[in-house]
Structure 1
């Protein structure tokens, strides 16, 4: 992935044919012919961060981890919501690297890069829709990438400060606008129009996430998830090989997370927010919002992408997948800090953590593969056969299969199967669009 779902990360493609050199027949200076490119090569830390994001989603999807004292998975509270946020942040980094990284492309090259981003996103729509239609317990994120990539494309040529500022504004404004609009849909004048959109949406008819889900009401709606993508786009414009930048990412991300989670604790525990939500919980149709039996359960287990709209105090919680301003800032801060740590440690630990980085390099293939394995196991297709252990030890099968399979494939030096397909199709299409 070329730092995006669908290609190999590490180096950005030029986006134009080799014969497009302005001096195709000019001889190369002998001393420059074999001169190593300064600072070239893959950014192993990005592969590593993406691998951790994929493995974090395995925790939620197949129960990877160990039992805690209360009988739950000890890893779930650590990664729930945050692994997907890291995945989305890295999608933004991917977009930046496709379009030139620290030095954005210009002219025709930027045009090709822009269309590569758009086409990659659009390719995720049918793939994500197909996986969602399989009916597994996984909230598939791939179809949402179509919206993320298309909305990010217009900002490819903006300075990183402008993109970062936009991400910061949307982190607060997006959840607030989402809360307001969903309130109008639930009990207001937008209820009819929203129902009409869903009634005529072919994706909804197929049993998949429709337009309203992708933008506003789903598990990863653009209103609340674009800040992660844009933050990644801004980060991808920095010099990620510089130690100072990496340490700034760690410090800034940790500080952002501390402020967000601290503010939520103050609002809930010291300012009476929890007491008020206890009443709001009793009045909310919780079957639409995760089905938790108690307020404590809802705050611990999280929500399916959005919070109830019967009380604005819900907007101060930081439960997983709640889509509130503080949850977006908190999960985003952790994602930024984790990326910084991975960039710092990636090169030094590249051999020790090679399998994890390999999963990150083949993230599309491993993500799709684990959903297919969950579907096969859930439908009992392997019962009584030699592969019945796949269903009985699903978590172990998925994680070992991903680490070993991705590690062996990565050793060949080739892109992953789906990464290669998406790379080839998006590049070919982008070069042919005027």
Structure 2
């Protein structure tokens, strides 16, 4: 059989299920992901502005109980999900295309770091109104690069390893690590004491990268699944609920049934009041005086069960939003509009907080921040599209990817489709105008792919006589009875004689 015959046979023999999935609109965004990201943004706004405890009783407020720790975890989970979707979704990219994804991720991390350092320079150096997560995001993305090619099983395993090992490092290493520098490190801090800044960003800061890689890698694993499948969506929600409940139950048993609370209370200098407060709000640094601290679920302590609890809540939120979007996606539009441009909205939120005019009327200012964010996102998305900062980052990342992958803009298509070099093994139509990815994402996250299939393969349905280019540079034409099968193709069609496997 000739190579051209083999290619035609592979195209015609592709499974019909994929054709149905393609015709159902793979180019549509998963609005549930954007809505979940919008909720995470609201949670961070609430934590920054509203009180964390009641002045009369000292008890935690509803804001603290609902959002502390969990909002940041949801943000990180969705960032990881975006990484997977932008690097191939269910079929990870390979070769030069994966290299281009990695280079693009470096560019994105650098740009996010620049934004973070600029905002930090405007924040009050002492007792700032917010601790920005942006500089940590830059580190998350850099650490994720070696894992970008992995499948879901390997990613879940790596996430579990980070979730177990990182808390031990956080508890045991601070005595030998450099002193903590600043809640919001500036460029001056980075240049003056890079070792201390690295220590803070990895282990001792507000959102330390090593434990947060649990959320990033778990999100990447989710991005390798079929997120349009309702059973998968339900499984995500169910697994999240189970994980959150089991983590809280395990912590309760270890502390109050097995003797952990008494053991912590017996440590030198510990009083019942101090311990109870630490279990609600967390200690400044997790003491290394007892291994029982590993059993707490307090937000931002980044202990194993605390990570598991926040990860469970993040999975539950994502799964529920995906399920709701199937039947009532239009009701999620305002929330999703916010979630589609959170880099812009979060940055603006921090800049306004830096003015420190919200302390006297926190509830009013929270409503102002929320109302302006919803209104701006809603109207900007419909009149312009991508958020301002998202657009800048998107253009830079896409440009770097094209330089590495060797792809150039195709002037033949109205949306500027990519023309692939002849050495590329993907099947290509002359005008592929399908938008596989969008860049309206969470703070600094990669483009959210609109479908889980391999973005190297066009979903355009070729008509009679459409030329298909093989990896050897030869061209074949599809007849009428062959054209329908082309939309069924999931992966790249390879020439059996090329030796590429």
TM-score per shorter chain, which class? 0.7 to 0.9
Q: Would the alpha carbon gap of residues 322 and 197 (structure 1) be closer, same or farther in structure 2, given more than 3 Å must change?
A: closer
SS in 1 for 2:327: coil
Q: CA RMSD in A?
A: 3.1
Q: Would the alpha carbon gap of residues 377 and 263 (structure 1) be closer, same or farther in structure 2, given more than 3 Å must change?
A: same
Deviation, 1:129, is: 2.4
Q: How does 1:331-350 map to 2 (within 5 A)?
A: 331-350=310-329
Q: Would the alpha carbon gap of residues 319 and 298 (structure 1) be closer, same or farther in structure 2, given more than 3 Å must change?
A: same
Which has more helix, going by share of residues?
A: 1
Rounded to whole Å, the distance in 1 between the matches of 2:306 and 2:365 is 30
Rounded to whole Å, the distance in 1 between the matches of 2:117 and 2:255 is 38
1:239 to 226, 235, 244: 226
Deviation, 1:68, is: 11
Query: Would the aligned equivalents of 1:49 and 1:339 in 2 still touch at CA under 8 Å?
Result: yes
2:385 to 414, 418, 434: 414
Q: Would the alpha carbon gap of residues 273 and 196 (structure 1) be closer, same or farther in structure 2, given more than 3 Å must change?
A: closer
1:213 to 163, 180, 200: 200
Deviation, 1:405, is: 1.3
Which position in structure 2 is the counterpart of 1:314?
Answer: 293
Which position in structure 2 is the counterpart of 1:120?
Answer: 108
Structure 1, 348-357 or 295-304: larger mean CA deviation: 295-304
2:262 to 270, 275, 282: 275
Structure label with greater radius of gyration: 2
Query: Would the aligned equivalents of 1:302 and 1:320 in 2 still touch at CA under 8 Å?
Result: yes
Rounded to whole Å, the distance in 2 between the matches of 1:413 and 1:366 is 15
Rounded to whole Å, the distance in 2 between the matches of 1:196 and 1:45 is 38
Rounded to whole Å, the distance in 1 between the matches of 2:99 and 2:324 is 34
Which position in structure 2 is the counterpart of 1:397?
Answer: 368
Query: Would the aligned equivalents of 2:159 and 2:217 in 1 still touch at CA under 8 Å?
Result: yes
2:120 to 129, 132, 135: 132
Query: Would the aligned equivalents of 1:307 and 1:323 in 2 still touch at CA under 8 Å?
Result: no
Query: Would the aligned equivalents of 2:116 and 2:135 in 1 still touch at CA under 8 Å?
Result: yes
Q: Deviations over 1:354-386 (max 9, x none)?
A: 211111001111111111111123499xxxxxx
Deviation, 1:195, is: 5.4
Deviation, 1:260, is: 1.1
Query: Would the aligned equivalents of 2:92 and 2:151 in 1 still touch at CA under 8 Å?
Result: no
Query: Would the aligned equivalents of 1:144 and 1:214 in 2 still touch at CA under 8 Å?
Result: yes
1:80 to 68, 72, 88: 68
Equivalences, count? 375
Deviation, 1:122, is: 2.1
Query: Would the aligned equivalents of 1:129 and 1:203 in 2 still touch at CA under 8 Å?
Result: no
Q: Deviations over 1:11-43 (max 9, x none)?
A: xxxxxxxxxxxxxxxxxxxxx9xx956433100
Is residue 356 of structure 2 the alignment partner of residue 377 of structure 1? yes
Query: Would the aligned equivalents of 1:45 and 1:346 in 2 still touch at CA under 8 Å?
Result: yes
Deviation, 1:124, is: 1.6
Rounded to whole Å, the distance in 2 between the matches of 1:232 and 1:93 is 4
Q: Deviations over 1:322-376 (max 9, x none)?
A: 1101111111111111111111112433222221111100111111111111112
Q: Deviations over 1:51-94 (max 9, x none)?
A: 01111111211118998995753222111100100000001001
Rounded to whole Å, the distance in 2 between the matches of 1:308 and 1:204 is 27
Which position in structure 2 is the counterpart of 1:154?
Answer: 146
Which position in structure 1 is the counterpart of 2:29?
Answer: 42
Rounded to whole Å, the distance in 2 between the matches of 1:68 and 1:358 is 35
Gaps spanning 5+ residues in structure 2: where? 1-18, 406-501
Q: Deviations over 1:380-427 (max 9, x none)?
A: 9xxxxxxxx998832111111111111111222510001111111122
Gaps spanning 5+ residues in structure 1: where? 1-31, 285-291, 381-388
Q: How does 1:172-187 map to 2 (within 5 A)?
A: 172-182=164-174, 186=175
Which position in structure 2 is the counterpart of 1:361?
Answer: 340
Query: Would the aligned equivalents of 1:215 and 1:221 in 2 still touch at CA under 8 Å?
Result: yes
Deviation, 1:99, is: 0.5
TM-score (norm 2): 0.69
Query: Would the aligned equivalents of 1:116 and 1:430 in 2 still touch at CA under 8 Å?
Result: yes
Query: Would the aligned equivalents of 1:113 and 1:430 in 2 still touch at CA under 8 Å?
Result: yes
